[in-house]
Amino acid sequence: MLVVNGLRATVGEKEILQGLNLTVNPGEIHAIMGPNGSGKSTLAHVLSGRDGYTVTGGSATFAGQDLLALEPEQRAHLGLFLAFQYPVELPGVNNTYFLKAALNSIRKARGEAELDAVSFLRFIKEKLKILHLDESLLKRAVNAGFSGGEKKRNEIFQMALLEPKLAILDETDSGLDIDALRVVADGVNALRSPERSMIVVTHYQRLLDYIQPDFVHVLAKGQIIRSGGKELALELETTGYGWIDAEGLAA
């Protein structure tokens, strides 16, 4: 589904991704872990098409298309979804309006009929239940004045609504207390399916207690330096990231 090959990307003068390889097949959950500044968020941003990064080498293919050549909305149309680490507040932009515009844009791009107001509302209320979210959410402006937990839940809610093929969860656990984390993780687990893949970007192992990954990768200095099963995450929990420097030197 996603094939990243030798990806290199810079921010300004600085090379953040230095030849990254990653393959994600349908239904798989990949965790990407690593210390601060290793390039985890950069990877998420480059894949979803955020400005400010220059791709200097390598490729990323998603659903058979050259992902890097596409506009952010085209990537979304193809089924890519980024759950933001810091969801953006959009004061004055009504949530329902926003969600409907997003869903219908994607449906339209896929050649599906746009949902009318009634069926949209029915659809959306169904999804609210999955995340145990209150309907009042729909009347509010997108993320404006939301608590940290509410914002993250709203991200997962959007994911439920837009039904992506590949979801990238960028440090979704950051800033969440354990209860909120559980709610978010339950939401994510409810959305697992054999057709849907996920990349879970995180600094800590604790999120992976709730979202069990199929693969764990360690990202350091812009490359994946180790890959393994979920036991790798537990190992990292005990060893921390200190060993990377030594190993990095040896390599």
Partner 1 sequence: MTDHALMSWLPPLAPAAPAWLATLQAAARAQVQTQIAAPDAEAWRYTSLNHLLEQGFVPIDETITALQPDDLDEVLIAGLDSRRVVFVNGRYAPELSATEALPPGVHLDSLRELLAHDPDAVRALLPAESATLPLFMALNVAGLDDGLVLRLDRAAILAQPLELIHLSIGLDQPSVAQPHHLIVLGDGAQATLVERYVSLGAAVYCTNAVIEIQLGRDAVLTHERLQTESKNAFHLSGLSLRQGANSRYQSVNLGLGSRWSRTELLTEFCAAHAECDLRGLYLAGDEQRIDYHLDVNHAVPNCTSRETFKGIIYGKGRAVFDGRVVVAKDAQKSDAAMSNQNLLLSPQAEIDTKPQLEINADDVKCSHGTTVGQIEPEKLFYLRSRGISAALARRMLCLGFADEIIHTLHSETLREHLSEQVGQRLESAPWD
Q: Kindly state the DSSP code that residue 249 receives in the 8-state scheme.
A: H
For residues 8 and 19, the answer to whether their CB atoms sit within 8 Å is yes
Q: CA 232 to CA 137: how far, in whole Å?
A: 38
Closest CB 215 distance from partner 1, rounded Å: 24
Contacts of 96 (CB under 8 A, 6+ apart): 124, 138, 139
Please say which residue, 60 or 236, places its beta carbon nearer to partner 1. 60
Closest CB 46 distance from partner 1, rounded Å: 13
Helix then strand then coil, % of the chain, to nearest 5: 40, 30, 30
Please say which residue, 104 or 227, places its beta carbon nearer to partner 1. 104
Q: CA 43 to CA 20: how far, in whole Å?
A: 9
Please say which residue, 70 or 225, places its beta carbon nearer to partner 1. 70
Closest CB 62 distance from partner 1, rounded Å: 14
Closest CB 236 distance from partner 1, rounded Å: 29
Count of other CB atoms within 10 angstroms of residue 111: 6
Residues engaged in binding partner 1 (CB under 8 A): 48-51, 71-73, 75-77, 81-82, 84, 87-88, 90-94, 97-98, 101-103, 105-106, 109, 141, 158, 162
Closest CB 82 distance from partner 1, rounded Å: 5
Closest CB 128 distance from partner 1, rounded Å: 17
Radius of gyration of the chain (CA): 18
Please say which residue, 161 or 176, places its beta carbon nearer to partner 1. 161
Q: Could you tell me if residue 24 is left (phi over 0), alpha (psi between -120 and 50 degrees) or otherwise beta?
A: beta
Please say which residue, 124 or 233, places its beta carbon nearer to partner 1. 124
Q: How far is CA 48 from the centre of its chain?
A: 9
Please say which residue, 143 or 197, places its beta carbon nearer to partner 1. 143
Closest CB 232 distance from partner 1, rounded Å: 29
The residue assigned the tokens 């953040």 is 16
Burial class of residue 250, CB neighbours in 10 A (0-12, 13-18, 19+):
exposed
Q: Kindly state the DSSP code that residue 69 receives in the 8-state scheme.
A: G
